[in-house]
């Protein structure tokens, strides 16, 4: 692909070799132009749930193309969007009654932030602060970068970003500090919403915290009348062991963002679910209270049909059993690394496993990251460490043998990297 005009995401082209083309996908594998079969251990950036090209989803897409292409969603509705909205409300935490469609995880969060601010604006309440947790990642659009961790990812765009109030991540023993700070922010009377990745921070290093903390944050939010936004873009669709991570805290958010696994990873689609109160704050004879948000491809019928098929798979196939099997395999394989001096913070949540390679330099830009990635690729594995954080988030169709291969590679690659000079 020498001379390609394509600019790839999160890629420093001055340092990376030319990209190989993928020519096909199936199950847990990608096949590149040289015939190499790569085991997709990160679900192609966390989107593939049941495996690549699940036949039920592919057939739903083919069928939808016989009837639909894009339809203006400000003027009409259509059956795939209606069926999907009803299905989402049925599987989501109780109390979420309305569904707004968009195109990606980032846009679902942008929608949520605008819903929250619009809610208080339309009620005549002067609330304009958003509370976030440090190390969070919510996307790469302006609002989502503003609510995410500040650093190398967004330093160049700082003039565009708005200020937020940040809670400390609840490290061991830091739970009370996190709760006390949220209470302090809320007492100002200006907090519109808390937005949070439930139980695990994804791109921030696969940092896991206690579900009880999530429940306590929700209680504080309720006491002060601010909205609770759950960013379930990564954590939804079984990744943490339950359909949505909020379930493990026994809470229902006021607004929930979902994307990635919504279509089983087949097509781009996102949804922002909200409570009746949030919807009703925008419901008025006064057109100035309209929720002013859209995109050209809102509720694309073909993508919605894929998502409806995804819901059918959850209803008709043993998805929960597959998730439990992946969980059990992770638990068994991770045991060999607990107490291993090469690794720190060996951890697991549902189908997500992570461990930190002990190296002199950590963080996303640690030099060890690209080297680890290359060594895994040489062994037929797609694994993209977050700096020195090695994580696995496979599709649920993965076999025991395939997952074993990944853990054997982690063992081998760690020894290679630690045995060389930094």
Digit-coded pLDDT (tens) for 64-101: 999 999 999 999 999 999 999 999 999 999 999 999 99
CA distance 252 to 269: 22
Q: Which domains does the chain have, with CATH numbers?
A: 57-316 (3.40.640.10), 318-418 (3.90.1150.10)
Tens digits of residue pLDDT in 95-151: 999 999 999 999 999 999 999 999 999 999 999 999 999 999 999 999 999 999 999
Where does the pLDDT of residue 421 fall: very low under 50, low under 70, confident under 90, or very high at 90 and above?
low
Which pLDDT does position 172 carry in this prediction? 83
CA distance 46 to 332: 22
In terms of DSSP H, where are the helices of 228-342? 276-280, 301-316, 319-334
Q: What is the pTM of this model?
A: 0.97
Is 235's pLDDT higher than 60?
yes
8 Å CB contact between 145 and 154: yes
Q: How many CB atoms lie within 10 A of CB 225?
A: 13
Q: Provide the percentage of residues in the chain whose pLDDT is more than 90.
A: 95
Which pLDDT does position 1 carry in this prediction? 41
Three-state SS string across 143-193, please? HHHHHCCCCCCCHHHHHHCCCCEEECCCCCCCHHHHHHHHHHHHHCCCEEE
């Amino acid at each position: 692909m020498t001379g390609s005009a394509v600019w790839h995401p999160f890629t420093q082209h001055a340092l990376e070799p030319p990209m190989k083309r993928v020519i096909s996908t199936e199950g847990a594998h990608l096949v590149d132009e040289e015939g190499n079969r790569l085991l997709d251990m990160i679900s192609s950036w966390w989107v593939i749930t049941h495996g690549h090209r699940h036949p039920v989803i592919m057939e739903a897409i083919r069928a939808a193309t016989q009837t639909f292409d894009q339809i203006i969603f400000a003027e009409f509705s259509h059956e795939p969007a209606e069926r999907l909205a009803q299905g989402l409300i049925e599987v989501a935490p109780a109390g979420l009654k309305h569904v707004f469609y968009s195109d990606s995880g980032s846009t679902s969060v942008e929608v949520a932030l605008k819903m929250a601010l619009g809610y208080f604006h339309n009620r005549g309440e002067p609330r304009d602060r958003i509370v976030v947790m440090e190390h969070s990642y919510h996307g790469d659009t302006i609002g989502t970068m503003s609510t995410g961790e500040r650093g190398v990812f967004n330093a160049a765009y700082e003039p565009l970003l708005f200020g937020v109030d940040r809670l400390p991540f609840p490290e061991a023993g830091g739970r009370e500090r996190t709760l006390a700070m949220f209470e302090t922010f809320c007492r100002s009377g200006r907090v519109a919403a808390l937005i949070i990745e439930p139980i695990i921070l994804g791109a921030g290093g696969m940092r896991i915290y206690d579900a009880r903390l999530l429940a306590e944050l929700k209680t504080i939010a309720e006491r002060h009348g601010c909205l609770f936004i759950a960013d379930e873009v990564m954590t939804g669709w079984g990744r943490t062991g339950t359909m949505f991570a909020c379930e493990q805290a026994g809470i229902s958010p006021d607004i929930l963002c979902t994307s990635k696994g919504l279509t089983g990873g087949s097509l781009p689609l996102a949804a922002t679910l909200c409570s009746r109160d949030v919807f009703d704050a925008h419901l008025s004879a006064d057109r100035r209270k309209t929720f002013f948000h859209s995109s050209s491809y809102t509720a694309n019928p073909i993508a919605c049909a894929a998502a409806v098929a995804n819901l059918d798979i959850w209803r008709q196939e043993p998805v929960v059993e597959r998730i439990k099997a992946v969980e059990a395999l992770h638990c068994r394989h991770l045991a060999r690394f607990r107490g291993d001096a090469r690794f720190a913070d060996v951890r697991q949540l549902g189908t997500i496993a992570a461990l930190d390679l002990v190296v002199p330099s950590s963080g996303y830009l640690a030099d060890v990251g690209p080297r680890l990635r290359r060594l895994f690729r040489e062994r037929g594995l797609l694994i993209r460490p977050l700096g020195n954080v090695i994580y696995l988030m496979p599709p649920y169709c993965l076999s025991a043998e395939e997952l074993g291969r990944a853990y054997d590679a982690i063992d081998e690659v760690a020894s290679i990297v630690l045995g060389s000079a930094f």
